[in-house]
Amino acid sequence: MSADGLPTAEERRTGADRRQGPRRQTDRAGALPSSDVLRDLRAILENATVGILFTRNRKLERANPVFVQMFGFAGDNYVGQPGRVLYPSDADYEAVGARAGPVLAAGQPFHADVQMRRQDGGVFWCRLSAKAVDPRQPQEGTIWIAEDITAWRAADRRLRQALTDQEMIFNNAAVGIMYVRERIVARANRKLEEIFGYGPGEMLGRSALDFHTSEASFRHLATLARETLWRGETFTTEWEARRKDGSTVWVRLTGHREADAGERFDVVWIFEDITERRRMQEELLQARAELEQRVLERTAELSTANAQLQDEIFERMQAEQRIWHIAHHDALTGLPNRALLHDRLQQALAQAQRNRGRLAVMFLDLDRFKVINDTLGHEVGDELLKEVALRVRAAVRASDTVARLGGDEFVVVLHDIEDANDAGRVAEKIVAAFVPPVKVGKHELRASTSIGIGLYPEDGDEAYALMKRADTAMYHAKRGGRNQFHFFSARMSAAAQRQFHIEHRLVAALEKGQFSLVFQPQVDLAARAVCGMEALVRWRDPDEGDISPAEFIPIAEETDLIQPIGEWVLLNAMRQNRRWQEAGRPLLPIAVNLSPRQFRHKDLVAGVRAILAETGQPARLLELELTETALAHDPDEACARLEELSAMGVRLSIDDFGTGYSSLVALKRFPVGKLKIDRSFVRDLCIDRNDAAIVAATIGLARGLELDIIAEGVETECQRDALLALGCQRFQGYLFAKPQPAENEAGIFMPEGLG
């Protein structure tokens, strides 16, 4: 406030004047300022928005209404009051005085924000401005302008506080904050520096580019952010930033453009270090991937295990099936075995009973299978059995059962037949199936079968009985000449019974002395003399009478009884020859039959040697008759054995020659000296040209091999003459002599027909 014109000398004269100031001024027009000026001045004072006070001699002189109101005076009662009343204390008053005095005295305006006191004792902040009217005499008058700044100060304090708070927040924020003005860092807080590895203040002034790993990264981010930010929206991204030392840090970036910046591109960026979070996230992802991998592996393991388990189950099922199959089937042919046959037959019978149906049980036995087995060996026999199984199987319906009981025994169950003729037709079919020869290796085998048939319900209604009946019928078929089938009948049963009966009685026959020997001479027509004899066994059972060796020898052979019987025959034949020798009879060799089983027995050679020694017989007076069957089984072994016997001097001959499978050439290697042409060839010699041809060939080849030859079973002169014509001069047969007991010496040593 300018000093000129306000407090005049006249005004300062009296308090009353001063009190009535404005009115009196108007009264004094002329020397005093014009009333217009006063009025204007007063209007200014009255309407001024600040408090205005005029003091003189440290006393309040005049104040405008704002001042009066500000300090809470009532009307004019402030006039004359000491300045001190405006201050809270003496000290405040003195302090302001001390500060203001020199300034005012220097003619300078004094400014201060000080605390002042209202009349009601309340203290408030006031901005004082003072100027001395006359600096040379300050006590003469000073003009004070007072503004109540309590509200302003409060606002100011609040503002400062806010700033402080902001600063504090800025500096202590857990996030990095960066103000970027036109791409240059204008502010960066502590945290930001920390994140980026800068020292205090080091980031300021830097280009935003400095915090990127590459310019490409910068451009990429800028492009991304710019549009969003210009729209006034918050931009957020995660970004790999470059630190001061070149290392990188993952940050979550949130940007906001300062709207007040006008056209400028000012952005506040908030940085959160998410390296740790990302690491954890990555670890989490990694862990998850590993977990997934493990789950996959485990799943794979499980599925493998599962597959293995299923395989195992499958294998076990297969194994069980195999075991079941093995337990119920014949290993060689794969046909059902006895156990399965029994099951099937029982089921079939039960069904037949329910349906009032019929069925047939067939018992099959191969003819002369033993011969094949013994002659050609088990391998060949096995092959034959397999082929037989196939042929039988092929001859019946799929629903029928073909089983192998073992050996060469088969059983066929015809599950559903109309009558006996059906079974007969099937049996015929099976017999016919055997007609084509079976090729096994180089052999062409001619197999045949004998079939016995039992029928349900005629022959029995129970499995065992039916099998038994079929078995009996089969034996009958065999007896009937093989290669045929027979239905069961009571008579057949008797034949089977006899078979069993014989076997049973044979066991005791030897001990009971039921055996005897007969001798049949062999004649040499060229020499017109007996050249030897064959010992043949006889069995007389006290109940059954004479039993033919043709009947019991095969049974003995099957049951191993042949061993002691054969030994008995050999011993007694040698004893008899010795007796004859002692009686002065001519020295003649005796031929003894040796069954294949006997020949194969390991003690044969030793046994023969012992008997010869015991009876004092020279080996040359013993001739052993062997069948081709006995030799063919294991030719090497047979050969060795024959060599041994031959070396001892024992004579060896082949019995029933022509019925076996050996060829003449094969015989050449055996040290045999004699062939016996089988009775069957001799029998039809006069009526069958084929037989004559076979005999002729046999004789011719025997000659070529330098073997002796003898014909057996010669019954007629026709046969004799035919043989003679073919070059055979030795004979054995009823034409000359029947086998006779030893006592009948004349019949043996001087047979008829020798002339």
Please tell me whether residue 655 binds Ca ion under the rule CB under 5 A.
Answer: yes
**Interacting positions 574-593 with ligand C2E (CB under 6 A):** 593
Window 665-704: contact mask with Ca ion (x via CB under 5 A): ----------------------------------------
Among 273, 625, 628, 691, binds Ca ion (CB under 5 A): 625
Query: Across-strand partners of 487?
Result: 453
For the CB of residue 595, give the shortest distance to Ca ion in the complex, in Å.
10
CB nearer to ligand C2E: give 141 or 713. 713
Looking at the Cβ atoms of 333 and 563, the one nearer to ligand C2E is 563
Q: How far out from the chain centre does Cα 474 lie?
A: 53
400 binds, among ligand C2E, Ca ion, none (CB under 5 to 8 A by kind): none
CA gap 468, 156 in Å, rounded: 132
Q: Any residues with CB less than 8 A from the CB of 37 and at least 6 apart, and which?
A: 5
Of ligand C2E, Ca ion, none, which one does residue 362 interact with (CB within 5 to 8 Å by kind)? none
The footprint of ligand C2E on this chain (CB under 6 A) covers a number of residues equal to 22
From the list ligand C2E, Ca ion, none, partner contacted by residue 548 (C-beta under 5 to 8 A by kind): ligand C2E
How many C-beta atoms surround the C-beta of residue 152 within 10 A?
A: 13
Residues 708-727, interacting with Ca ion (CB under 5 A)? 712
Chain centre distance of CA 119:
106
* Cα four-point dihedral sign 601, 606, 607, 608: positive
Q: What is the DSSP-derived secondary structure letter of residue 135?
A: T
Tally Cβ neighbours within 10 Å of residue 610.
14
> What are the beta bridge partners of residue 462?
none
* Nearest-angstrom CA–CA distance, 211 and 195: 11
β-strand partners of 417: 358
Q: In this complex, which beta carbon is closest to ligand C2E, that of residue 188 or of residue 748?
A: 748
Tokens 């063919």 found at: 632
Question: What is the x/- site pattern for ligand C2E, positions 363-392, by CB under 6 A?
Answer: ------------------------------
Cβ–Cβ < 8 Å for 625, 591: yes
- Nearest to 426, CA basis, from 460, 400, 389: 400
From the list Ca ion, ligand C2E, none, which binds 549 (C-beta under 5 to 8 Å, kind-based)? ligand C2E
Nearer to ligand C2E, 255 or 733 (CB): 733
Tell the smallest beta-carbon distance from residue 517 to Ca ion (Å): 13
383 binds, among Ca ion, ligand C2E, none (CB under 5 to 8 A by kind): none
Q: Is 653 in the site for Ca ion (CB under 5 A)?
A: no
Q: Does 536 bind ligand C2E (CB under 6 A)?
A: yes
- Amino acid letter, 262: G
CB of 690 to ligand C2E, least distance (A): 20
Q: Which of Ca ion, ligand C2E, none has residue 734 at its interface (CB below 5 to 8 Å by kind)? A: ligand C2E
CA distances from 182 to 1, 188, 189, 258, 261 (A): 46, 15, 18, 12, 10
Question: Residues 9, 31, 216, 550: which binds ligand C2E (CB under 6 A)?
Answer: 550
User: Which residues inside 5-64 make contact with ligand C2E, applying CB under 6 A?
Assistant: none
In whole angstroms, the minimum distance from the beta carbon of 676 to Ca ion comes to 6
Say which residue the tokens 């055997």 belong to. 434
DSSP three-state, residue 479: helix
Which listed option, Ca ion, ligand C2E, none, makes contact with residue 708 (CB within 5 to 8 Å by class)? none
Closest CA to 673 of 621, 701, 722, 709: 709
SS3 state of residue 238: strand
Q: Work out which of 289, 317, 734, 750 binds ligand C2E, going by CB under 6 A.
A: 734
Nearer to ligand C2E, 486 or 633 (CB): 633
Radius of gyration of the chain (CA): 74
Which CB atom, from 61 or from 534, has the smaller least distance to Ca ion?
Answer: 534
Site for ligand C2E in 496-525 (CB under 6 A): 520
x-marked contacts with ligand C2E along 314-353 as a string, rule CB under 6 A: ----------------------------------------
Q: State which H helix or E strand residue 581 sits in.
A: helix 562-582
Among the residues of 329-434, which ranges form H helices? 338-355, 369-376, 378-395, 420-433
Closest approach of Cβ 713 to ligand C2E, in Å? 4
Site string for ligand C2E, 655-694 (x = CB under 6 A): xx----------------------x---------------
| The binder of ligand C2E chosen from 452, 566, 589, 596 (CB under 6 A) | 566
For the stretch 56-63, contacts whose Cβ atoms lie closer than 8 Å and that sit 24 or more positions apart, written own/partner, are 56/7, 56/12, 56/139, 56/140, 56/141, 56/142, 57/139, 57/140, 58/82, 58/83, 58/139, 59/83, 60/85, 60/86, 61/7, 61/12, 61/18, 61/141, 62/7, 62/18, 62/21
The residue range among 75-83, 86-94, 249-257, 710-718 that interacts with ligand C2E, by the rule CB under 6 A, is: 710-718
How far is the C-alpha of 682 from the C-alpha of 656, rounded, in Å? 11
User: Does 656 contact Ca ion by CB under 5 A?
Assistant: yes
- Provide the minimum distance between the beta carbon of 679 and Ca ion in the complex, in angstroms, as a whole number: 6
Measured from the CB atom, the residue of 193 and 534 that comes closer to Ca ion is: 534
Q: Which of residues 622-661 bind ligand C2E (CB under 6 A)?
A: 655-656
Considering the complex, what minimum distance in angstroms separates the CB of residue 734 from ligand C2E? 3
As a whole number of angstroms, the distance between CA 349 and CA 455 comes to: 11
| Beta-strand pair 123-132/110-117 | antiparallel
Helices 562-582 and 549-559: crossing angle in degrees, nearest 10, is: 130
In the bound state with Ca ion, the residue whose beta carbon lies nearer, of 383 and 678, is 678
What is the CA angle 538-578-561, rounded to 5? 35
Does residue 176 belong to the site contacting ligand C2E (CB under 6 A)? Answer: no
Q: Which is nearer to ligand C2E, 575 or 679 (CB)?
A: 679
Segment near ligand C2E (CB under 6 A), from 33-41, 87-95, 294-302, 549-557? 549-557
Q: Which of residues 568-607 bind Ca ion (CB under 5 A)?
A: 593
- Interface residue with ligand C2E among 116, 146, 178, 537 (CB under 6 A) is 537
Nearer to ligand C2E, 336 or 733 (CB): 733
Q: Which does 408 bind (CB under 5 to 8 A by kind): Ca ion, ligand C2E, none?
A: none
Q: From CA 126, how far away is CA 153, in angstroms rounded?
A: 9
Q: Which long-range contacts (CB under 8 A, 24 or more apart) does 30-37 make?
A: 32/8, 33/5, 37/5
Identify which range of 171-179, 574-582, 632-640, 712-720 contacts ligand C2E by CB under 6 A. 712-720
Where along the sequence are the contacts to Ca ion (CB under 5 A)?
A: 593, 625, 655-656, 712
Where along the sequence are the contacts to ligand C2E (CB under 6 A)?
A: 520, 536-537, 548-550, 553, 566, 569, 593, 595, 655-656, 679, 712-715, 732-734, 739
